Amino acid sequence: MFDAAELGQKVSKSEFKERELDLRSRLLILQYRTLELARFPVIIDFAGVDGAGKGSTVNMLNKWMDPRWLRSIGYRAPTEEERARPRFWRYWRDLPQKGRIGLYLSGRYSRPLLGRVYGGSDELEFDRRLAEIIRFENALVDDGALILKFWMHLSQAHQKKRLDELSADPLQSYKVSDDDWKNHENYNDFIAAAEQIIARTNRGGAPWNIVEGVDLNYRHLRVGAIIAAELARHLDTHERQAASARNAEAPRHVEPVAMNPTTVFDGLDLSQKVARREYQKKMKKYQARLGYLGRKAFDKGISTVLVFEGPDASGKGGAIRRTIWSLDARTSRVHQFAAPTDEERAHHYLWRFWRKIPRAGFVSVFDRSWYGRVLVERAEGFATEDEWRRAYNEINDFESQIVERGILLLKFWLHISEDEQLERFKKREMSPYKHWKLTDEDWRNREQWDAYEQYGHDVVQYTSTQKAPWILVEANSKLHARLRVIKTVTDHLEDRVESD
Amino acid sequence: MFDAAELGQKVSKSEFKERELDLRSRLLILQYRTLELARFPVIIDFAGVDGAGKGSTVNMLNKWMDPRWLRSIGYRAPTEEERARPRFWRYWRDLPQKGRIGLYLSGRYSRPLLGRVYGGSDELEFDRRLAEIIRFENALVDDGALILKFWMHLSQAHQKKRLDELSADPLQSYKVSDDDWKNHENYNDFIAAAEQIIARTNRGGAPWNIVEGVDLNYRHLRVGAIIAAELARHLDTHERQAASARNAEAPRHVEPVAMNPTTVFDGLDLSQKVARREYQKKMKKYQARLGYLGRKAFDKGISTVLVFEGPDASGKGGAIRRTIWSLDARTSRVHQFAAPTDEERAHHYLWRFWRKIPRAGFVSVFDRSWYGRVLVERAEGFATEDEWRRAYNEINDFESQIVERGILLLKFWLHISEDEQLERFKKREMSPYKHWKLTDEDWRNREQWDAYEQYGHDVVQYTSTQKAPWILVEANSKLHARLRVIKTVTDHLEDRVESD
């Protein structure tokens, strides 16, 4: 795979100077078009052989382009905060926003590669790590991102020469670490793992490019030219799309719902009730138990994510409040999601939820969540059909990463009948301190009751997985629903705390 | 101080129900006025005796108000990421934005109080910790924030009764920890320290309120009523100000500069030069040395903050690039500041800079910085005279916190002559890849050259402190300036790495 990158290609200083001028202004113009269009982020990764000039290429790009809209990002061993989250949390956190460019060193490929070479991970584990990367890149590419990946190459002989040169120069010898020599000795394993990585993760929208790293001038021009060509192509596509979207000016298309005569909610016995006396007794017991378990979970570093969805006025807020009542307010947090900020809008829709994954031992409660993508955004046509259909899979992947990190994830769907909702809306209208909860939008959503039931049905159907099942809660009786929620949280947390 | 909070005040259940209704709707209305006005954040702190109901009061406020614009925040021992930053980093990070409310448990008073009781800090240290808090609160209050602080009180006898009751109840006994009993035994020391805290940190805009904690109903109504009254008063003031500002509709007032015949820059010999040959030799040497030192500093956890200011085209970007060239891109970051995002605009102006304080061993470079407050914001009238005058002191405080945490802070002012700037502007206009650096605004700023020199003079005068002196760099020769910068960074980092 790498023979073509051992041809000894060189560019003379004078030729470099001449071509640099032209390349530099092209890159700048493309960078500004990207910034102005603001429809996709550009992610540029540098991996490769030690000594092949990854760092110097990043420096050169920083010089060539406008550094205000460019960020260099590198990773080391995960910190305490990073270790408590799913592996990809830090990559999500550092994504450039639409219109901007991120240059990555020692990024998501670095640890799988070293793990494979030094035996930390076997073939199966290596495969799984690559599959994670592919899912991550797919989510971004599907959302429009341009991902460019460079493998900077040196033959083993050239690597030795380079390391010897550096070691002999008293000003540069510090750059050569024992790890570099160790990697050099394992050159063949290193290259074998790299071949697998490149073969498996090379795809349209996220291509690999192998660049010969011996000659500094050649390498810089080559990387710059590839970026310019790929970025120009990507921009053309997106600018055309933007133009045709403008011309069309179609009213928001809301796809007609093929009504399902029965939904998963039809099977619920919404009439279930509980006597107030029994409720009070049990609630007190569960709150006490949960308070105790919450403390234990914190000590053990077990984190919890609770998700609440369901129709307006289904009692999510009340159930949440009573559930977290006995938890330590210093280690639990309720997140509600208003309209996204401009920074949030400039990212993938999952980005703002990734940011709220709790740290070790903490509880994050989501009062409405990433399911907005397949509920309100679907209903209102904010997401295209392709976008919301894809989202089920993206959400399943997101949740499986949460669960795999050892975080307890529980998803509650609180369901009420159409009549019960009407009753509650009327009561809210009359209440001096609850009418803020009721907006015109709520009445509008009510008109789409059947459609929302269908959307909810699809949510349960496509995202109730073994790892992250939906818990459907009959909520016409608030007391019944609250008990059901707190009991479920308590039981699951108990299992987890005691098995851990 | 606490006698008045041991009167045994009680509210019956029926009275509570009646008064709750009214209070709740008042609080909601006030919350919405605050949200709509969006001119100040509300910070509500709960401190006090264990068992006096801090947690339950926070829960009640969450029930009474709209939880979407309310956040409960609590602190535990600092994490790895928090320990690497100045002590107040985490409090800055968690500030609510303008229009929103934060409820704080175990906040900034908690550790100084416990430190005083258990002998971790002596009188002097305690004093210094309180002075830090006062400066923090002053900065926020001066910016319009409302800070309300509650001391929830119980007599020692009532505390014992409360702890006994909880311990005897199998459902609640987990709430009582050994620490609670230890605090109970040290009740008198605890109260003595609390008296000092309250006496020293009680001020307009950030008042303390002592609330008797024995009776749940009384306590909740009392806290709610105080919040309602203080918030109403604060809103009235701000709404009046907003209205009169609207009526005035004055053009931005830019205060006339009383020209100083001589500025600190007049003493600089801008003609200093260096031969290209010497430059190349030395630059190579410094880069090598700095690369080595950067690695050492990372290993030792020594962080660095570099600040660059100076006229447009003074060569900040070039000097930065050459300085960080040899540093590990994974542990160094250059921050440039474009127009603030809406989230940033909704916070204190220092908030976005606090967020970029590097973690342990990292380097943060600020290409322009918080000095914008006293340079461009002053020049353009974005900050009022009171705001920018206050800012010198706020900046000194901010920087001294950085330095006290052990972070290396270096501030470079690159200076060029008016003629040299004109030369460079003209060159930029001609260059195929540099003309983006030149905007109409740059030409406009140039017209204010003398004023900007005066503003810069004031910056140096008011913010060149012993802990964080300005380094003035003669920059008419780019080569000279770059060498000066990298040499200074290298020398300081060397001192630090070797003395640490």
Chain B touched by A180 (CB under 8 Å): no
* pLDDT at site A255: 54
Mean pLDDT value across residues B61-86: 90
Bridge partners of A101, per DSSP, are A42, A70
Give dist(CA A30, CA A166) in Å, integer.
36
Quick one: tokens of A88? 């990809």
B108 domain-assigned: yes
Judge whether residue B223 has pLDDT over 70: yes
- Residues in CB range of B355: below 8 A, 6 or more apart: B92, B93
Tell me how many degrees the CA angle A275-A280-A281 measures, rounded to the nearest 5: 100
Give pLDDT, residue A492: 97
Q: Is A61 on the interface with B (CB under 8 A)?
A: no
Last residue of a domain, one of B231, B247, B263: B247
DSSP label at residue B97: P
pLDDT digits (tens, 9 = 90+) for B11-20: 999 999 999 9
User: Is A173 within the bounds of a domain?
Assistant: yes
Q: Chain A: residue nearest B287 by CA?
A: A171
Would you say residue A261 lies in a domain? no
Is A110 inside any structural domain?
yes
* Least confidently predicted of A60-69, B80-89, B275-284, B351-360: A60-69
d(CA B113, CA B133): 12
Q: Nearest 5 degrees, angle CA A87-CA A88-CA A92? A: 150
Residue B259 pLDDT > 70 = no
Residue A351 to residue A340: CA distance in whole angstroms: 11
Quick one: B231 and B338 in the same domain? no
Residue-level pLDDT at A248: 64
Percent of chain B surpassing pLDDT 90: 70
Residue A259 has a CB neighbour count (10 Å cut-off) of 10
Q: Find the angle CA(B52)-CA(B55)-CA(B60) to the nearest 5 degrees.
A: 105
Interface check for B430 against chain A (CB to CB < 8 A): the answer is no
Contact yes or no for A59 and B288 at CB 8 A = no
d(CA A186, CA A120): 14
Do residues A193 and A281 both lie within one domain?
no
Portion 291-320 of A in contact with B at CB < 8 A: 291-292, 295, 317
Contact B175 A291 (CB under 8 A): yes
As a whole number of angstroms, the distance between CA B195 and CA B201 comes to 10
Q: Count Cα neighbours of B65 within 13 Å in the Cβ-side half-sphere.
A: 27
DSSP 8-state class, residue A382: S
A55 min Cα distance to partner chain B (Å): 7
- CB within 8 Å: B106 and A330: yes
Contacts A–B by Cβ distance under 8 A? 134
Is B385 within the bounds of a domain? yes
Cross-chain residue pair B342–A342, CB shorter than 8 Å: yes
Q: Which of A208, A226, A247 is the last residue of a domain?
A: A247
Amino acid identity, position A169: D
CA distance A458 to A446: 18
Closest-approach residue (CA) in chain B for A58 = B329
Residue B256 belongs to some domain of the structure: no
Q: CA-to-CA distance for A314 and B494, rounded, in angstroms?
A: 63
Say yes or no to pLDDT of B254 above 70.
no
The minimum CA-CA distance between B179 and chain A, rounded to whole Å, is 14
If asked whether residues B295 and B224 sit together in one domain, one would say no
Q: Among A12, A56, A59, which residue's Cα sits nearest to residue A162?
A: A56
Q: What DSSP state is assigned to residue B203?
A: B
In sequence order, the β-bridge partners of residue B208 are B149
Range B173-182, long-range pairs (CB < 8 A, 24+ positions): B174/A288, B174/A291, B174/A292, B174/A295, B175/A291, B180/B50, B180/B51
Q: Which long-range contacts (CB under 8 A, 24 or more apart) does A130-133 make?
A: A130/A196, A130/A197, A130/A200, A130/A201, A132/A87, A132/A88, A132/A401, A133/A108, A133/A109, A133/A201
Does B288 sit within 8 Å of A171, measured CB to CB?
A: yes
CA distances from B315 to A113, B285, B459 (A): 40, 21, 19
pLDDT one-digit tens code per residue, A479-491: 999 999 999 999 9
Residues B280 and B223 in one domain: no
Three-state SS at A211:
strand
Q: Which of B73, B321, B330 sits opposite A62 (nearest CB)?
A: B321
**Chain A nearest-CA residue for B437:** A66
Describe the crossing of helices A216-248 and A13-37 by its angle, rounded to 10 degrees.
20
Cβ atoms of A46 and A151 closer than 8 Å: no
Q: What is the pLDDT of residue A419?
A: 95
pLDDT tens digits, residue range B434-491? 777 778 888 888 888 999 999 999 999 899 988 899 999 999 999 999 999 999 999 9
Selected for mutation to probe chain A from B22, B312, B436 (highest A CB count within 10 Å) is: B436
The CATH number of residue A86's host domain is 3.40.50.300
Q: Note whether B296 and B192 are same-domain residues.
A: no
Q: What is the DSSP string of A18-41?
A: HHHHHHHHHHHHHHHHHHHH-S--
Residue B337 pLDDT class (50, 70, 90 cuts): confident
Per-residue pLDDT, averaged over B302-325, amounts to 94
Cβ of A367 and B321 within 8 Å? Answer: no
Asked whether the beta carbons of residue A28 and residue B436 sit closer than 8 angstroms, the reply is: yes
Give yes or no: residues A187 and A316 share one domain: no
Tell if the CB–CB gap between A171 and B71 is shorter than 8 Å: no
Which residue in the block uniquely carries the two structure tokens 């916070």? B347
- Give contacts of B 142-171 with A, CB under 8 A: 169-171
In the predicted model, what is the mean pLDDT of residues B66-77? 88
The answer as to whether A260 is a domain residue is: no
A383 - beta bridge partners?
none
Between B134 and A247, where is the model more confident? B134
Record: contact B329-A175, CB cut-off 8 A: no
The ipTM (two decimal places) reads: 0.77
Q: What would the mean pLDDT of B256-283 be, rounded to a whole number?
A: 86
Radius of gyration of chain B (CA): 27
Residue among A32, A62, A288 whose CB faces B436 most closely: A32
Of B359, B432, B436, nearest to A21 by CB-CB distance is B432
Both B228 and B336 in one domain: the answer is: no
Radius of gyration of chain A (CA): 27
Contact A62 B341 (CB under 8 A): no
Residue of A25, A170, A333 with shortest CB distance to B433 = A25
Residue contact A25–B432, C-beta within 8 A: yes
**From the list B76, B295, B341, which residue is nearest A341 (CB)?**
B341
CA distance A266 to chain B (A): 31
Question: Residue A27 and residue A134: Cα distance in Å, rounded?
Answer: 28
Rounded-to-integer distance, Cα A406 and Cα A255, Å = 38
Could you tell me if B243 and B282 lie in one domain? Answer: no
Mean pLDDT for chain B overall: 91
From residue A98, alpha-carbon distances to A41, A384, B164 in Å are 4, 18, 58
- Bigger pLDDT: A60 vs B433: A60
Of B174, B325, B338, the CB nearest to A59: B325
Query: What is the tally of helices (H) and strands (E) in chain A?
Result: 20, 10
Chain B CB contacts of A367 below 8 Å: 67
What's residue A146's pLDDT? 97
Q: Do residues B409 and B468 touch, judged by C-beta distance below 8 A? A: yes
Tens of pLDDT along chain A (500 residues)? 788 788 888 999 999 999 999 999 999 999 999 999 999 999 999 999 988 999 889 989 988 998 888 999 999 889 888 999 999 999 999 999 999 999 999 899 999 999 999 987 788 899 999 999 999 999 999 999 999 999 999 999 999 999 999 999 887 888 888 889 999 999 999 999 999 999 889 988 899 999 999 999 999 999 999 999 999 999 999 999 888 877 765 555 555 555 656 889 998 999 999 999 999 999 999 999 999 999 999 999 999 999 999 999 999 999 999 999 888 888 888 998 877 888 899 999 999 999 999 999 999 999 999 999 999 999 988 898 889 988 999 999 999 999 999 999 999 999 999 999 999 999 988 877 777 777 888 888 888 899 999 999 999 989 998 889 999 999 999 999 999 999 999 999 999 999 87
User: Read out DSSP for B147-169?
Assistant: EEEEEEE--HHHHHHHHHHHHHS
**CB A184, CB A163: distance < 8 Å:** yes
Is residue B345 located within the same domain as residue B491? yes
Total count of domains within chain B: 2
Q: Are residues B218 and B292 in the same domain?
A: no
Supply the pLDDT for residue B171: 79
Q: How many CA atoms lie within 13 A of B282 on its CB side?
A: 17
Task: Judge contact between A307 and A407, C-beta under 8 A.
Answer: no
Q: Note whether B334 contacts A: Cβ–Cβ < 8 A.
A: yes
The amino acid sitting at A409 is L
**Domain boundary at A230, A247, A264, which?**
A247
* Distance from C-alpha of A429 to C-alpha of A439, rounded to nearest angstrom: 10
Taking residues B327-345, what's their average pLDDT? 86
Closest CA to B65 of A424, A438, A436, A311: A436
The predicted structure's pLDDT at residue B440: 84
Interface membership of A464 toward B (CB under 8 Å)? no
* Burial of B55 from C-beta contacts in 10 A (0-12 / 13-18 / 19+): buried
What domain range is A354 assigned to? 276-499
User: What gap in Å lies between CA B137 and CA B146, rounded to an integer?
Assistant: 10
Q: Does B32 touch chain A (CB under 8 A)?
A: yes
Dist CA A67 CA B365 (whole Å):
12
pLDDT of B396 > 60? The answer is: yes
A76–chain B Cβ distance below 8 A for any pair:
yes
Average pLDDT value for residue range B391-399: 93
Under an 8 A CB cutoff, do B28 and A436 touch?
yes
**Looking at chain B from residue 231 to 270, which residues have their Cβ under 8 Å from any Cβ of chain A?**
none
Is there a contact between A338 and B68 (Cβ–Cβ < 8 Å)? yes
CA–CA distance, B73 with B45 (Å, rounded to integer): 10
Q: What is the pLDDT of residue B250?
A: 54
Q: Is residue B21 domain-shared with residue B160, that is, in the same domain? A: yes
Looking at the fold, whether B72 and B143 belong to one and the same domain comes out as yes
Asked, for residue B186, whether it belongs to a domain, the answer is: yes
- d(C-alpha B351, C-alpha B338), whole Å: 15
Amino acid making up residue B1 = M
How does strand A304-309 pair with strand A332-336?
unpaired
